[in-house]
Structure 1
């Protein structure tokens, strides 16, 4: 894409007040040469304190390991913490104890190990660069309603050589090689008299540079028809000591010098080998070094190379020198997938393989998509950062262009020291915004968009929900077992879906939640496994029609197998294949292999992934698009039984089956940059040619969970009484009186629904059924749903006769043989519930299974849950009350997204009192002596079913207090409100077992009006409230002070479209109830 004519961003005349993001590159204002990146303290687990983090990308580091301790006791082992600026002692002490910077401070990792880490106030730092990748989704600020995709990244930088030679005018020649003092011990090294440092190189395009190492960790490589990621590199180190090249017996026994004064050193890493030379100079062992770096090691650890002789010194004394090279000795590679169209016999190994460096470096191709094709215009100059060491891709051309001082190999014992350090960088990003406009922006003026629901972009292929149907396809007994074990889709399980209304998004209006879509003429798209797999050869998008319409975002669905994004690494069917690949045979059964994402198949072994891709390739061979876009190579192969058969086939490694998407047009065209042994090549490919999106596996941070994707964690908790003793038998159990409900903040903060029935009945109206017991019982008969006209207000708590319903989530769990203690505890819990349930919470238990409960919440007014029925199942486990209850949330409208960050679509409930979310505050965890089931229910009502559920995400509390991310919060609330309207319809269409009378009484009108009490008529109230919100939208403008409701200031147009549909459905139910 040619971006030369793209306009710059408009100058608004206002400066953006920003906060530092994770991975931001910054420098000290007082010492600009000291650069580093903003990081997070990795052992940080204190979720309740994450809100005090100043990074807007805090959500990416919520939890890094579930099993870590909650309260870190002092600084972690691997951090060298120093002080460069003045930080109040209480701020520093608090940080060292908790690992959480106070507001206004960030934790910075500087470029060199000897420079350490430091806690620094934001005002003492200057932002130099930002980590925004090609294809990233960005905003100008976190509350902007306009978001975009980075479609081009062009950067220039300033370079400093790590080595140079001074010119001697008297001799008329250059002297010996010297090294840049940046790599020397800071404040100890001074340039020699008469020496002159070489001038830096300015305005060097990043596209002309590459990393100084041929291969490194996280590189994507192609090796013998396999695609993999380098996970670990073992390296040697070559030093220049006394002008002699030496290698090391033990590369890990290197030391780097660190200079501190007493006020500068805050914390030395625990267990760090350290050699103190004097009061201010210490040498620390460190095994990660780079060319040009000043290091030392014992002479006995050296051995001469290339004819060099180690200086004759005391073998136990230390020699000093510079690193000349760090050659790799071994690579550990994780294999992802294979080229099933390749020639020869494919070597299928384990997913993790160790390869000797000479073998890999000889035969592997690095997927270097920054190596631009000569005709390429799209750049992705974001892979190299300030502080990194680089080389020129074309040293000869660079020498002629920049006239820098080239160091001959003979001056450095054959090791290439023409390496440069990036000291500054300026990046311009071309952004295609959601409204279709394109601008060029300075990278520092943007931030990464972390919106939870922003998955529809210009160029996205979308499906109209009303055009989706679930179909049955012929079952096959020959489907491999591993296919059946692939995970279910979170929305549609393993259903087979046919989509007949499919289109491409042209533009998106986020404020109004409207997308402009151009539709395909006659698409017939079959999706397997709930939308994870595009079925071959049964699917066809067809041609785009001229029909363009505006559609509510809530009416559209996006499936993983249809998603293609800028920057995606993709596996392709090559444009040229050998004729031998056509002899794969035919599939005799229904094919279950088709385009998907790598993450979907990541649980499979490499041989299983290969079998999956091979089945897909067979189904592609007869497709018309495949025949029209593929060239057949008829070159004769070497004799199959030849000794050198495989070697000849691998002699010229092919890489044309892997590429990166660099352009997605709104007409459906996709441009892919192919990997190659030299410069890359850009090609246009049909949608169907992309076999797999390789969406995981590159960086080490890929495993960090995003918000909304954190699984329920197991927590090993020891329960103690108030004296600190473990609770182990019945004699140690202390019971409270029934009326002594624990005094917690959750019990005081919940919102009580304003139901009308509260004033319409007395205790005499309720049939207790047993005058000697506070607990009420009723037979769980099948005709509960058919309420008589004389039905009265159902009790909030009731024990039913019979067995629990079959749809109770925990019905399959066998009831534990109860001890006297457990039985007494359960009875006590039921007593409390029978007396103390607040309005809006209904509980049912069963006489045959007292360990099972079902709870119905009526959503509190003034929240997006208002009038909606929320149903939970509870199980009191065998070790109750030592362990908290198990809970399951019935997410009836699967596939519409969560209605709360704490309520998962698979039924998980993340709450500290349930032991499913870690917390630093022990008062928030389950206590065997203090906590009750009532406390759990009140916590859910008061802390989960709230006005602004977006801020329930861990660490977002401070955002709510500061009003940050308000746009995302409003969107989340609006979507939750729409989804919970469907909960009302579902509960009325599908009677909730054990709760039928509660739903009928609270929602539906009575056929005969009672003279004693009117029903709440929540169905009518929900309809009226929705109509009022629509009327507000139609008769008000954005920014008007009058609000649509207590939780939504104004509905979007997209929400109004959907709400009208839901109102119609609810009114039909209301009419049917009165007939």
Structure 2
């Protein structure tokens, strides 16, 4: 079976193995699925003839390669190609230190890459002939060269295979994205301007600005040593001559023998801890600054003269897990040997270019033509193995909030308010993950008795607590998540006993954790050291790289920019992460040591969504043909609609407002009669649903309360004469109504109160005085993780309704803290903890054109049906934006099961919360359930009702019995519905006992 391909894989074309390319998009990698991919390309995308045109046109719209295809960029070709996977052969999978991998996509266990060993095939410098009578030394780009330039057959040395990358050094420095240090600041290189010295065919050397030359293939990329550069004679004549002088007969082409950087553009990121200056260095560094002692490029390949023997380096067993970065390798990268004499002794056929023939310049340069990588992986059970990179796959479950790896900091879920500190909370225990049984969702954790982790909690009005209760930004704030800001994270050293815990009973926040390869700032390197840091050190010893995460909670930091590179062991609170190796720097909030405003949340509409009528906007409807001629959006989608305005007439031919137009679901005005209006407030309201016979006319039924002892089932739709409860999310919004809006609101109510209009399991409550407010109970459908669980949503029909869609708020209930077990969090990709519901019909997700709310056609009933049928589904994992097409793929089965099992757990706690909030229980009252108390009581506990509480308990008991049997060897992979992991069974047992107590 062919290995699945992933982005950045290096592949060969089976029909021509000399053709090498890089994978850019795959069917399964959602992160690569930007729509309209051709808009990002300089050349039109090409495709295999075997790929059908309709599929190719669809790809050019949605950016998702059809199943079995990938987008490849071949070396030497500017245009990207959509290619069938079967026509490709995997050469290497580029894995870096800190990457999380699996042996197979379906495996439960994953591991972290702790070291890499890359072996390269090198192409030495060649003889390049220009116009048949001029010879240069150089290396040509993969693309075909310009006319008159070619390699000679006799002057092309054989490639040198199996050269370890550790023996090589990249000569392209600095380049964009390099990390640099200047004085007390670190930054990232944004651009470089240079001058290049050309060794001409007559042996003279002239220096010109690099923008005055182009590559042998006509390209204008940055130049590196060994390139062939073409220019104009006029540029040579006015250049700076290093050897010789300008001769008109000398061709304007030469070998680049020197690159002298003139300026470097920098984006400044962080400053040294303790630095008093608030003024950043200039955004462009000049030559004088580049040559000063204050400037250096951070070199991750620098190692201590003797690799560290710190005690914590061998805590994982006999084999050290300290990471040692080697030169990062890419195709066509220009290299030279760290020690040419050693290389000449090791590789007998290695050619050597004498400096006397090149005016003293060193042109012993090589291009990487191929490479293979072997990696060392530390697995979650602490075992260590060496694997070929092509035998591993990237872990696609990194968004699993209950995943953990050895060395991570975790804390218990019993977060409580700190006495005397308003708005500050802290967990009861903090520890370090030792080992993880990923299949059973169980971890061994060593508690750190002296650790202190404190959070500032949002008070609901955007204010957070902290020292002094000033509600401002904390100087130590790093991350804000769901209204919580990390204030203090002091871990110390974990020296307690290890304990086995469920992964659902602990949290490993990103703000507390780091990974190998992260760049950190050291706080006072002379006074807070544990081991390895010397007094009076020189160089940039305040910045380093994490090379090991120890099981006692400490870190091994490599001070690669110090005068003498060395490893030190520090506590986590003694460093601040400056640059995360996984590229999530933008997710961090605050600088960690200096005051600054918290980053704002991203708009949730950019996360998830459904299409019209609730259909996922990425979902191709059954029977719907793809429009092969669809044009790309130019931002003027409404222009045609503005020109062709629809008009409406009634049965008498009189003009009608579009809001009065009836659709197939609406009753006519003549059927029910206009409701009398008094200052915009309806005097009559819709009839209740499910009467004995469909109503023709008459007033709508109202009630002040329902009889708790009644034996009749509660109405699906009911209008209450009481005031709307204060717990309704929109209760404080004033009623803004006009006759047109109220007519439309009445129509929506008439639709809801029609017999059998509402789906089974949906209960709507509204208020006589506020028909613009609704509270809806959704009962979780059977055979889903939501089975028989209650979900409450508040709706507001706003003042300009129906021009504006309804507003909705989801009551996301946190589980009682005594239950623990991961009861806090989302229950669906479309339902957020802050109450947001992401749905195109609600305008909270921007679907395709025409998929949102339509004032003349969309109804509130459509919204309710969508929430029940297309959000509360069997496999909610695939509701995530772009995940629909992952169904059936090997890598998504386990991820879907894990999402479902934690959803099942949280849905069971919703039952507890609802029952404990009805009157007379726990003294709390029906907060968030007013209007639905009788419905809840009838559904779950009333003798005359369906007694769903008993069914929930029975179902949970059966699930636990089957899951525990499977865990003991009875078979059955966790699916999140009938079989669960042992880790989730632990909190589910607590939930079961709580539910039994409510019976």
- Bin for the TM-score computed over the shorter chain: 0.7 to 0.9
Answer yes or no: is 1:890 the counterpart of 2:811. yes
Q: Displacement of 1:157 after TM fit?
A: 1.4
Q: Quote the Cα distance in structure 2 between the aligned partners of 1:83 and 1:296.
A: 33
Q: Is contact 2:97-2:323 (8 Å) kept?
A: no
Change (3 A) 1:160 1:971: same
Where in structure 2 are the equivalents of 1:78-117 lying within 5 Å? Answer: 78-79=42-43, 81=45, 92-96=56-60, 99-112=63-76, 114-117=77-80
Q: Quote the Cα distance in structure 1 between the aligned partners of 2:846 and 2:361.
A: 52
Q: Quote the Cα distance in structure 1 between the aligned partners of 2:940 and 2:837.
A: 35
Answer yes or no: is 1:213 the counterpart of 2:132. no
Q: Which is further off, 191-200 or 547-556?
A: 191-200
Alignment match of 2:239 (pick from 304, 307, 311)? 304
Q: Quote the Cα distance in structure 1 between the aligned partners of 2:433 and 2:585.
A: 33
Where in structure 2 are the equivalents of 1:123-202 lying within 5 Å? Answer: 123-163=86-126, 177-181=136-140, 185=144, 195-202=154-161
Q: Quote the Cα distance in structure 1 between the aligned partners of 2:715 and 2:213.
A: 74
Aligned residue pairs: how many?
871
Answer yes or no: is 1:442 the counterpart of 2:368. no
Partner of 1:755: none
Change (3 A) 1:788 1:348: same
Q: Displacement of 1:970 after TM fit?
A: 0.9
Gaps of 5+ in 2: 308-321, 459-476, 480-484, 589-600, 610-634, 649-654, 668-687, 816-821, 919-925
Q: C-alpha deviations, 1:949-1007, integer Å up to 9, x for none?
A: 11112222222144542111111100000011111222233455574353443346899
Partner of 2:333: 388
Answer yes or no: is 1:1032 the counterpart of 2:957. no
Q: Quote the Cα distance in structure 2 between the aligned partners of 1:698 and 1:995.
A: 43
Q: Is contact 1:826-1:851 (8 Å) kept?
A: yes
Answer yes or no: is 1:372 the counterpart of 2:315. no
Answer yes or no: is 1:824 the counterpart of 2:743. yes
Change (3 A) 1:147 1:1053: same
Answer yes or no: is 1:869 the counterpart of 2:802. no
Q: C-alpha deviations, 1:216-271, integer Å up to 9, x for none?
A: 111222211112222333445555565555555681774764xxxxxxxxxxxxxx
Partner of 1:948: 875
Q: Displacement of 1:888 after TM fit?
A: 2.7
Q: C-alpha deviations, 1:877-913, integer Å up to 9, x for none?
A: 4443334333332222287332112222233322233
Partner of 1:658: 543
Where in structure 2 are the equivalents of 1:828-907 lying within 5 Å? Answer: 828-835=747-754, 836-893=757-814, 896-907=824-835
Change (3 A) 1:1008 1:396: closer
Q: C-alpha deviations, 1:361-388, integer Å up to 9, x for none?
A: 5332222222232323633347222332
Partner of 1:329: 262
Residue aligned with 2:273, SS: coil
Q: What is the CA RMSD across the aligned residues, in angstroms?
A: 4.2
Answer yes or no: is 1:687 the counterpart of 2:572. yes
Q: Displacement of 1:665 after TM fit?
A: 3.0
Partner of 1:967: 894
Q: Is contact 1:365-1:653 (8 Å) kept?
A: no
Partner of 1:463: 411
Q: Is contact 2:531-2:568 (8 Å) kept?
A: no
Partner of 2:318: none
Partner of 2:279: 348
Partner of 1:587: none
Partner of 1:957: 884
Change (3 A) 1:209 1:1015: same
Structure with more contact order per residue of length (Cα contacts < 8 Å, sep ≥ 6): 1
Partner of 1:274: none
Q: C-alpha deviations, 1:132-180, integer Å up to 9, x for none?
A: 22111111121111111111212221222345699xxxxxxxx964223
Partner of 2:624: none
Q: Displacement of 1:390 after TM fit?
A: 2.4
Q: Quote the Cα distance in structure 2 between the aligned partners of 1:240 and 1:701.
A: 44
Q: Quote the Cα distance in structure 1 between the aligned partners of 2:419 and 2:24.
A: 50
Change (3 A) 1:456 1:95: closer
TM-score, reference length from structure 2: 0.77
TM-score, reference length from structure 1: 0.72
Q: Quote the Cα distance in structure 2 between the aligned partners of 1:473 and 1:1000.
A: 41
Partner of 1:61: 32
Q: C-alpha deviations, 1:500-556, integer Å up to 9, x for none?
A: 3233222211221111223334545444458957989895645512x3332111111
Q: Is contact 2:273-2:521 (8 Å) kept?
A: no
Alignment match of 1:712 (pick from 605, 615, 629)? 605
Q: Displacement of 1:664 after TM fit?
A: 2.1
Q: Quote the Cα distance in structure 2 between the aligned partners of 1:157 and 1:146.
A: 30
Q: Is contact 1:721-1:929 (8 Å) kept?
A: no
Q: Displacement of 1:1008 after TM fit?
A: 8.1
Q: Quote the Cα distance in structure 1 between the aligned partners of 2:972 and 2:110.
A: 27
Partner of 1:503: 431
Answer yes or no: is 1:936 the counterpart of 2:829. no
Residue aligned with 1:576, SS: coil
Q: Is contact 1:206-1:381 (8 Å) kept?
A: yes
Q: Is contact 1:656-1:676 (8 Å) kept?
A: yes
Q: Displacement of 1:771 after TM fit?
A: 7.3
Q: Which is further off, 667-676 or 78-87?
A: 78-87
Residue aligned with 1:1051, SS: coil
Answer yes or no: is 1:203 the counterpart of 2:162. yes
Partner of 2:310: none
Where in structure 2 are the equivalents of 1:213-612 lying within 5 Å? Answer: 213-236=172-195, 238-239=197-198, 243=202, 245=205, 251=211, 254=214, 257=217, 286-294=220-228, 296-300=230-234, 303-307=238-242, 312=248, 320-324=253-257, 327-341=260-274, 346=277, 348-349=279-280, 353-362=283-292, 363-376=294-307, 378-381=323-326, 383-395=328-340, 397-399=342-344, 401-402=346-347, 404-407=350-353, 411-412=357-358, 416-451=362-397, 452-453=399-400, 455-466=403-414, 468-474=415-421, 495-521=423-449, 523-528=451-456, 539=490, 541=492, 543-545=494-496, 547-576=497-526
Q: Is contact 2:912-2:994 (8 Å) kept?
A: yes
Change (3 A) 1:1007 1:463: closer
Q: Is contact 1:892-1:986 (8 Å) kept?
A: yes
Q: C-alpha deviations, 1:794-813, integer Å up to 9, x for none?
A: 32223344554334334455
Q: Quote the Cα distance in structure 2 between the aligned partners of 1:661 and 1:411.
A: 44
Q: Quote the Cα distance in structure 2 between the aligned partners of 1:699 and 1:861.
A: 39
Q: Is contact 1:719-1:927 (8 Å) kept?
A: no
Q: Displacement of 1:445 after TM fit?
A: 0.8
Residue aligned with 1:306, SS: strand
Residue aligned with 1:554, SS: helix
Q: C-alpha deviations, 1:122-141, integer Å up to 9, x for none?
A: 12222122132211111112
Q: Is contact 1:156-1:426 (8 Å) kept?
A: yes
Residue aligned with 1:996, SS: coil
